Amino acid sequence: MLLSLTDRVPLLAARPGPAAVPATAPDAAPDAARADRLDRWARAAGLAPGAARCDLLAARLFPGAPAGRVELLARWLVWALALDDALDRPPLGDSGTGVRALYDDLLAALRRGRPSPGARPLESALVALWHATVRAPDGPELSRDWRRRFLQHLGEHRDGCAEEAVNRRTGTVPGPAGYPALRRRAAAPYLFDLAEPVLGAELPPALAAAPAWRALLDGVADILAWCNDLASYDAERERGDRHNHVAVLGEAYGFGAANAARSVADRIAERAGDVAAAARTLPATLERLRFTAAEQAVTERTVQALLDAPRVHLDWLRESGRHAALAGAR
């Protein structure tokens, strides 16, 4: 079902360039050392079982960015996946209190600037990533505004994952109206902020309030999350997790799994239309805001990464082995 969308949705269509190169193709061979470095870092940080080809995901999102920044983004992606696994499964998966306690430790470590004695790997790795990001040797130090925004999005993630945990404990299935916003909060919104340190420049603050920007960002976030829902549905159904768009529509409308999956695919196609409309109106927004040439340049590069993200993410889902059923499909 997910792969059929490549014929319906331009954002998910194959395109020439790095995003269309399979991980097993000869052209990917020069990246073997990069993948090995990431895997060794993940294991040394205690985030095994490995890096899930996050090196490919990062490199394809930002093909022209400096290699060191791309590798740092790949480490963040490994960390985010490890956190996601911890929050979705026992003992935290059905404990809102446990989710908040973990996040209390993580955020306290960032405020201290160092992990607590005997800290779990997620905490130690987060502090190391934070220091490497906010004071990168090959880029400007990130502003207090960027740091505040990143921490705010970590807090949103905490709240979304805690709500999901309570739902699992009580057997509550989210409704179709509320699910998209909950899914966005629980789908690591802080990762979008990392485009700026990769590009070496911050987005202008005025952009955040622009409706076209918000529509673009939310639309891409929904497409990424709902595509992941289609890929992960079988595994989540097996462990009884109903926080999946397929399960949500099935519960609300009495659909079987196949019909619910088709409905999710239809919603992804509709959401892609929203993203395309937002992208068309964004140039007029930038002109009205009178950004400097540098501000306009980083905005345009970030927008391009956002528009590339759905197809890059789909390729990664197939190649990474993150969801075995999709990985075997071609």
Secondary structure of residue 209 in the 3-state scheme: helix
Residues 6+ apart with CB under 8 A from 301: 199
Across the chain, mean pLDDT equals: 90
Residue type, 90: P
pLDDT higher than 70, residue 326? no
The band of 50, judged by pLDDT with boundaries at 50, 70 and 90, is low
The band of 172, judged by pLDDT with boundaries at 50, 70 and 90, is very high
pLDDT higher than 50, residue 164? yes
- C-alpha dihedral over 254, 258, 259, 261, to 10 degrees? 100
| Angle at alpha carbon of residue 329, lines to 35 and 73, rounded to 5° | 30
Let me know: does 12 contact 230? Beta carbons within 8 Å: no
Whose structure tokens read 């490199």?
A: 59
The band of 295, judged by pLDDT with boundaries at 50, 70 and 90, is very high
Structure-block tokens of residue 193:
């902020």
Going by the DSSP 8-state scheme, the letter that residue 28 receives in this structure is G
Residues 6+ apart with CB under 8 A from 317: 2, 227, 228, 231, 323, 326, 327
**pTM higher than 0.75 for the full model?**
yes
Structure-block tokens of residue 165:
């945990």
Rounded to the nearest angstrom, the gap between the alpha carbon of residue 73 and the centroid of all alpha carbons in its chain is 11
Distance (Å, whole) CA 159 – CA 14? 35
Whose structure tokens read 């990664």?
A: 316
The 10s digit of each residue's pLDDT in 96-127 is: 999 999 999 999 999 999 999 999 999 999 99
Secondary structure of residue 14 in the 3-state scheme: coil
pLDDT higher than 70, residue 252? yes
Q: Provide, rounded to the nearest whole percent, the portion of the chain with pLDDT above 70.
A: 92
The 10s digit of each residue's pLDDT in 202-229 is: 999 999 999 999 999 999 999 999 999 9
Better pLDDT: 87 or 30: 87
Q: Which of 2-11, 26-35, 127-136 reaches the highest mean pLDDT?
A: 127-136
pLDDT higher than 60, residue 327? no
The full length of the chain comes to 330
Q: Residues 3-16+32-327: name the CATH superfamily.
A: Farnesyl Diphosphate Synthase (1.10.600.10)
Structure-block tokens of residue 132:
């490497």
Distance (Å, whole) CA 217 – CA 203? 13
For the chain, the 3-state helix, strand and coil shares in percent, each to the nearest 5, are 75, 0, 25
Burial (CB < 10 A; 0-12, 13-18, 19+), residue 92, is buried
Let me know: does 10 contact 276? Beta carbons within 8 Å: yes
What confidence score (pLDDT) does residue 229 get? 97
What confidence score (pLDDT) does residue 4 get? 85
pLDDT higher than 90, residue 234? yes
Secondary structure of residue 240 in the 3-state scheme: coil
What confidence score (pLDDT) does residue 158 get? 98
Residue type, 325: A
The 10s digit of each residue's pLDDT in 2-29 is: 878 999 999 999 765 444 444 333 333 3
The 10s digit of each residue's pLDDT in 54-89 is: 999 999 999 989 999 999 999 999 999 999 999 998
Burial (CB < 10 A; 0-12, 13-18, 19+), residue 44, is exposed
The band of 241, judged by pLDDT with boundaries at 50, 70 and 90, is very high
What confidence score (pLDDT) does residue 49 get? 60
The 10s digit of each residue's pLDDT in 180-205 is: 999 999 999 999 999 999 999 999 99
Distance (Å, whole) CA 323 – CA 266? 21
What is the arithmetic mean of pLDDT over 38-45?
93
What CA–CA distances, in Å, run from 177 to 4, 7, 155, 326?
A: 25, 27, 22, 27
